[in-house]
Structure formats: structure tokens, C-alpha cells
Amino acid sequence: MSNPTAAMLVIGDEILSGRTRDANMYHLAGELTNNGIALSEVRVVSDDRSAIISATRTLSETYTYVFTSGGIGPTHDDITADCIAAAFGIPIDIRDDARAILTKHYADTGLELNAARLRMARIPEGAELIENPVSAAPGFILGNVFVMAGVPSVFQAMVAGVIHQLSGGRPLLSQTMRFMVGEGTIAEPLGALAADFPDLSIGSYPFQKDGVYGTNIVVRGSDGGLIDAAMIRLSNLLPEVTDDPE
């Protein structure tokens, strides 16, 4: 049984220009992993219509789920909703249910629901709304694409709202063992171990802290017994853990 797969599409010039450090990818990756869904690819594209449409189509055809972040606000550079609709050839306009949410929100806050804000009620025909408990303007689900905000607090709230309706696989489990030797010392026996456990993903992550080299070995998979077996083998990998530098 293979787990469902997912891709993320991050939309926004601010990430690509180095102005903003993306926070949503890291958050979504953790949430999906905890729910047994493998995040297999991430793409970051600019606020460019053809780039968004093309990436949406490719990712939607390739993976079980696609999650987008960014570009659903009220300004001229917020073009995500229209691009997602175009990617699927679905009509899009201001929708009554989304408008009602905005009308109530702006009445409550005493602000005008002007034409720019009303753009946030543009939702493709047939899409399901994603609730926004932070700032009201909804995201939406069209086909297998989940369209969410770029502001991290809103993105996280939207993810929390949809994550439990995804059909996840068996949770992806992982165990980590830390070796105080460089990767090069452990690489050969580790490669042999990885070959013996083809159903597990065994990753090696070097680190250097205060001049000391070390390696974290992370064993991932959905079969806890298999992971335990690999960890036992791993613990016998280095008869004497020496304090080699890399």
C-alpha cells in the first residue's frame, strides 16, 4: 500500500527576490508527514500567470493533492484564484457565499467592502470554500488543489481546517540516531544497511557544531517493526563510536 502523494506550489515574488523567508513549506511538510502523506515536490513561482497555470496543471496531474500558498489577497498582484480556475478551464466570478463572509466580516470591523476587497470573493464555480478564521477571506478546494493564503498565520489556520479531511496513508514514522563521526566514516556500512531495507528511507545528515562533526541518520517508513529492526542494525554499525572529525 503506497501513501498518497502531495506537492506544494508557493506563489510569490517576495520569496524569489529574497525579501521574505518562506515559512509555509516547512509547516506544511511537517503536517503532511504527521498525517501519512508524502510531500514529494515543491515549486516556487513568481506572480506570473502562465507560470502559475502551467505548474498547477503539471502538479495536479502528477500528485494526489496539491497545496498552494499566496496570491489570494485584494491587490493587483493577487492572481492565484483566477489562474487556478484557468488551469482547469472553470469559470470564476464573485460568488455569493464568499461575498456573504466578507460582508459580515467588514460590517463587524466597520470597514468598507470596496471593489478590491470584493476580489477576494472570486471563487471558481463548484469549488469548496476553505474557512479563514484569521481574516475571513476564504481559500478554496478545486479538484485536488487546495488554494490557501500566503500569510503564515492564515496559511496555518487553513491547513488545520483541511488536514483531517485528507485520506492519509499509514503515518510516516521516523527514528533518528546521532553519530559523533563524519558522514564519510559511516557511509559504507550505512549504504549496505540501506540496501537491505529497500522499503525504508534511510537519510544521512551531516552537521558541524562548535567545530565537532557529526551525522544524524534518519530512518523513515510506515512499518514500525521494520524501522526497529533497522535501528538495531544501525546501533551495531560502529563497534566503537570514535570522535573523528569529518
Q: Are 26 and 189 in contact (CB under 8 A)?
A: no
Rg (alpha carbons) of the chain, rounded to whole number: 22
CB of 50 to a second copy, least distance (A): 12
Using the minimum distance from each CB to a second copy, give the nearer residue, 90 or 131: 131
Pick left, alpha or beta for residue 145 (phi over 0 → left; psi -120 to 50 → alpha; otherwise beta).
Answer: beta
Using the minimum distance from each CB to a second copy, give the nearer residue, 1 or 108: 108
CB of 85 to a second copy, least distance (A): 19
Which amino acid type is present at position 196? Answer: D
CB of 211 to a second copy, least distance (A): 12
CB of 48 to a second copy, least distance (A): 8
φ, ψ for residue 7, nearest 5 deg: -130, 155
Using the minimum distance from each CB to a second copy, give the nearer residue, 7 or 130: 7
Using the minimum distance from each CB to a second copy, give the nearer residue, 8 or 127: 8
CB of 121 to a second copy, least distance (A): 12
Strand residue runs (E) in 77-200: 92-94, 122-124, 128-130, 139-142, 145-148, 173-179
Using the minimum distance from each CB to a second copy, give the nearer residue, 75 or 165: 75
Q: Are 142 and 88 in contact (CB under 8 A)?
A: yes
| Residue 103: HSE in the Cβ half-sphere, 13 Å Cα cutoff | 7
